[in-house]
Chains A and B, each alone.
Chain A
Amino acid sequence: MSDTMHPEEPMTEPTPNPGETAQPQDVQRAEAAPDRPSTQLGALASGHEEDPAAGREAVFDLKDVSVSYSGKLAIRDVDLTVHCNLVTAFIGPSGCGKTTLLRSLNRLNDLIPGATVDGSINYHGYNLMGDDVDPVEVRRRIGMVFQRPNPFPKSIYDNVAYGLRLHGMKDDLDGRVERALTHAALWDEVKGRLKANALSLSGGQQQRLCIARALAIEPDVVLMDEPASALDPISTQAIEDLVDTLKTDYTIVIVTHNMQQAARVADITAFFSVESRDDGSRNGVLVELGATSQLFIRPSDPRTEAYVTGRFG
């Protein structure tokens, strides 16, 4: 969670032994940052178990949310609350609908023909799905970072300035661009070449540029869809450190299939799984939601336990 908590000894090892791990890249990351996964647990084991959400304002409130694509159910009946200035992680195996759910939080599913969202999604008490809600305004407040870095083939400066120009935030454009890049921990690396094409940056830098681009328009929430899955271990760590510092100013929802990542960065974790029904169709379902510490050490559902201990997934 925080770098200030250094455990004396890792108690229960949340990382499955490499031999048991289904995903080789997880092993790689664990090696790249060997002391990180246990940080969380050390803090937990020493008894600091309190509800991180206590007393925090709800940003998103989801009730019975189901998403279908052309009538085919992708995820069903999700009840979930996202709290202010916390990192909420969505974890679970492929096909559990975690990305689908994330994309309905900024109405990006609107772009997919045939996608329907049922149930209610409240954002600060407003019905996000209402007919009178302008999706453009929603996306101005709820930023998004995608799985693969997708900078515009424009200059670094123009990438960050894109949203600012779009929303008429043109006063002190240079200052805003600089602040966003600083916020995304990229300024020092690019300050001498703001006019260079964004595609000349490395993958990790491109992803931080995309984060800067999202932060520039001062959103309330930042949604991150597996933001490090296409990056090397060093860049992954840079992104995770960034997530940790960003939560003082933003509410963050991060999708990851990497449990260690969730353990490292998230305050609250929602575990999703896939359920198969009699007719052979499969859809995602929310299994367990709780403080990350709780979920990883004392999962209340056997499916969560199986997943976090690496027996499945």
Chain B
Amino acid sequence: MEALASIAALIAIAVLLIVIYTVARRGLPALNKELFTNVTSTIGIPGQTGGIKNAIIGTVIITLISTAISLPVGVLIAIFNSEFAPAQVAASVRIALNVLAGVPTIVIGVFIYGLIVIVYGYSAYAAAVALAVVQLPIVARSAEEVLLLVPTSLREAGMALGATKSRTVLTVILPTAVSGIVTGTIVAVARAAGETAPLLFTTSLFANAVVTDPTHAMATIPIVIFQSSESPSPQDQQVAWAAALVLLAVVLLGSIMGRLLSLRARRRIEQTR
């Protein structure tokens, strides 16, 4: 039993290492300055030196917008659950969030396609809304966990000084929990940056140029990886590996940073107990 379990644990680590190694080995040779300074080239035409500049900018903009949507809504859901909702209601909301977290992201993409894209066409906004739906349960659940760590004695301290519940939440609970909420958000940002399926339905037809107007479709790193990897042209495939390496690095860094910071944030909150 112990041996089997140990092997299983080793497999998890091995898979991660193999993925990192493979992507690095294939991506590193193509990782040059042009990758970051050139915009994408049309897929399938040999002999071009395309980059991913516009895809990096697109991913940053879309992720920023989606986080600007999911962060306030997610934190408000967490506040509702931890501070205001009766226990049973909070439990139902929690189940709903878990189910939402389990919805295949391609279904979320189709949903946003029917809701927004059919009417307004492809746009960074539509992509951001789809990613926000993916992020929402992550932000809400992690924020709620942190809010629940804030000891009741601090809530009582605020109320005993004559603060209303809302005031206590704003001036005591949230400031105490803020570092924990930020780290949860970093994890959600990393997740959104790597999502592909919701983007297929919302922003997968884009110009080979830097686009900063969110009402238009933008290139994104995951979609560029997806499309370039299907190309018969070796240059395109090189770009796909290099872009994959960039994305992997960003996402790994984000989630490692998020988890480390989250440990620190928890320790700080536990000091108030």
Q: How far is the CA of A210 from the CA of B164 in the complex (A)?
A: 19
**Cβ–Cβ < 8 Å partners of A166 in chain B:** 161-163, 167, 171
Distance in angstroms from B88 CB to nearest chain A CB is 11
User: Chain A contact residues (Cβ within 8 angstroms of B): what range?
Assistant: 20 to 34
The answer to whether A162 and B272 have CB atoms under 8 Å apart is: no
Q: Judge if B264 is at the interface, Cβ distance under 8 Å.
A: no
Q: How far is the CA of A91 from the CA of B128 in the complex (A)?
A: 61
The answer to whether A144 and B160 have CB atoms under 8 Å apart is: yes
Task: Kindly identify which residue among A136, A150, A199 contacts B151, using a CB–CB cutoff of 8 Å.
Answer: A150
Assuming A106-B160, A111-B159, A217-B161, is B171 touching A162 (CB within 8 A)? Answer: yes
The answer to whether A143 and B272 have CB atoms under 8 Å apart is: no
The answer to whether B160 and A137 have CB atoms under 8 Å apart is: no
Assuming A152-B172, A153-B268, A199-B272, is B154 touching A213 (CB within 8 A)? Answer: no
Distance in angstroms from A167 CB to nearest chain B CB is 6
A-B contact count (CB 8 A): 69
**Cβ–Cβ < 8 Å partners of B154 in chain A:** 150, 152-153
Distance in angstroms from A145 CB to nearest chain B CB is 9
**Cβ–Cβ < 8 Å partners of B153 in chain A:** 146, 148, 150
List residues of B (108-160) whose CB comes within 8 Å of A's CBs: 151, 153-160
The answer to whether B268 and A143 have CB atoms under 8 Å apart is: no
Distance in angstroms from B154 CB to nearest chain A CB is 6
Residue in A closest to B273 when the chains form the complex, CB atoms: A148
The answer to whether B157 and A152 have CB atoms under 8 Å apart is: yes
Q: Judge if A113 is at the interface, Cβ distance under 8 Å.
A: yes
Residue in B closest to A162 when the chains form the complex, CB atoms: B161
User: Chain B contact residues (Cβ within 8 angstroms of A): what range?
Assistant: 20 to 34
The answer to whether B160 and A139 have CB atoms under 8 Å apart is: yes
The answer to whether A153 and B86 have CB atoms under 8 Å apart is: no
Distance in angstroms from A20 CB to nearest chain B CB is 34
**Cβ–Cβ < 8 Å partners of A162 in chain B:** 158, 161, 171
Q: Judge if B235 is at the interface, Cβ distance under 8 Å.
A: no
**Cβ–Cβ < 8 Å partners of B151 in chain A:** 150
Q: How far is the CA of A167 from the CA of B171 in the complex (A)?
A: 14
Q: Judge if A179 is at the interface, Cβ distance under 8 Å.
A: no
List residues of B (169-213) whose CB comes within 8 Å of A's CBs: 171-172, 175-176
**Cβ–Cβ < 8 Å partners of A154 in chain B:** 175
**Cβ–Cβ < 8 Å partners of B172 in chain A:** 152
List residues of B (81-101) whose CB comes within 8 Å of A's CBs: 86
Q: How far is the CA of A214 from the CA of B153 in the complex (A)?
A: 14
Task: Kindly identify which residue among A111, A199, A214 contacts B161, using a CB–CB cutoff of 8 Å.
Answer: A214
Q: What are 18 A-B pairs with beta-carbon distances under 8 A?
A: A111-B156, A139-B159, A140-B161, A143-B160, A146-B153, A150-B156, A150-B272, A152-B154, A153-B154, A153-B176, A153-B272, A162-B158, A162-B161, A162-B171, A166-B162, A166-B167, A210-B157, A213-B157
